[in-house]
Amino acid sequence: MKTKIVTFGEILLRISKPEYQRLFQGHRMLGNYGGSEANTAISLACMGDNVEYVTRLPHGAMGEAALMHLREFGLKVSHVVRGGERLGTYYFEEAVAMRNSHVIYDRKNSAMYSLKRGMIDWENVFADAAVFHCSGITCAISRDSMESTMDAIKLAAADGLTIVCDINYRKNLWGYGMEPHDVIFNMMQYSDIVFGDQNEWEVASGVPHIPFVATDDKCELDKDAYQEYFQKMHKLFPKCKKMIMALRNQLASSHHVLTGVLYDAVEGKLYTTKMYDIQPVVDPMGVGDAFVAGYIHAHQKWGDDNQYCLNFALSASALKNTIPGDQNLVSEEEVISNLTSSGGRIQR
């Protein structure tokens, strides 16, 4: 049986300042690797999955360093292509107290920005694959990157792979003339499993979202409202079997309430899970990617046990809030343990 999960996107160098400094303060900068699809791939690998990451990296030391980072976690990288001017980067100013976080992208003319159709041998990539994971971010980088993504999606669908789409709307990236709604809507027509937060589902569908205003873990969701919402989504995206929404209310920079819902379009049934009241949040970057990876891992291992898969995904996402950097460096065992414990105990 084929088990390989293929993820496709741009790995980025994340640059930030220490100790909550503003980007224009101080003289030291910290470097980490990020990028939504790379975060998902590394999280899957940490949980023991067979993962191949496909991207384009520049020649030279920066490309080699990024490749070494991917290999460090056991990712297959044999179909990474080389070329282009530079590695994409982003600058991250951390939130603290009432000050919001701030992201500045620097991706123009990166190796992925200038990726051309036909550079990646998708037939060989998918020869032993079961799942293809892609994201709206890759479609936002450039027209060439979008067209390469759509080529891969169509071939993966024709080959019978499970298509996992993360809407991942980033308004500051879209700049080549295509409407985000049109591109993402098209991606989702081929997708079997779709993720997004409430705002991203609105961008993709045009249907106003249901506000999430939970202030603690005792809040009750309006399940009937979400059931009705996803029934509308299924009419728009008939191929999609599982529709998953991450819900997060940021009460303060270090205090978030987190939960998620899953709609099984085959059953016509909505699933909900617990809420996590997380305080303090150490680093919120990559929390959505951890949710996606947690669900993909669970779905590959436990199939259509919707309730358990959703519980597992949310547990993985909650744990990411405790880990500095973009990537969720936790094992399957730790995610399962977090499902049944209050946390904070010394493991001896």
CATH number of the domain enclosing 275: 3.40.1190.20
| Domain assignment present for 158 | yes
Identify the three-state secondary structure at position 133. Answer: strand
Whether 137 contacts 170, CB under 8 Å = yes
Per-position DSSP letters for 37-104, written without gaps between them: HHHHHHHHHHTT--EEEE-EE-SSHHHHHHHHHHHHTT-B-TT-EE-SS---EEEEEPPBTTBPPEEE
pLDDT tens-digit map of 199-258: 999 999 999 999 999 999 999 999 999 999 999 999 999 999 999 999 999 999 999 999
Residue 24, domain extent = 4-340
With respect to residue 346, please indicate whether it lies within any of the assigned structural domains: no
The per-residue pLDDT for 348 is: 43
Q: Does a structural domain hold residue 348?
A: no
Helix, strand, coil fractions of the chain, as percent rounded to 5: 35, 25, 40
Residue 326 has what pLDDT? Answer: 94
Q: What is the pLDDT of residue 178?
A: 94
Q: Residue 236: what residue type?
A: L
* Whole-number pLDDT of residue 345: 54
The predicted pLDDT at position 342 comes to: 60
Chunk the chain into consecutive blocks of 10 residues (it has 348) and report each block's average pLDDT, rounded to whole numbers.
Answer: 96 93 92 96 98 98 97 97 96 88 92 96 97 97 96 98 97 94 97 97 97 94 97 98 97 95 98 96 95 98 97 98 96 95 54
Distance separating alpha carbons of residues 48 and 284, to the nearest angstrom = 23
How does pLDDT run across 263-296, given as a tens digit for each residue? Answer: 999 999 999 999 999 999 999 999 999 999 999 9
Within-domain flag for 50: yes
In a domain, 334, yes or no: yes
**Is 329 among the domain residues?**
yes
Q: Is residue 177 part of a domain?
A: yes
Give the E-state strand segments of 115-192 in sequence order: 129-135, 162-166
Name the β-bridge partners of 52: 6, 76
CA separation for the pair 89, 105 (Å, rounded): 6
Give the pLDDT score at 97: 85
Q: What is the pLDDT of residue 284?
A: 93
Within a domain: residue 347?
Answer: no
What is the total count of domains within the chain?
A: 1
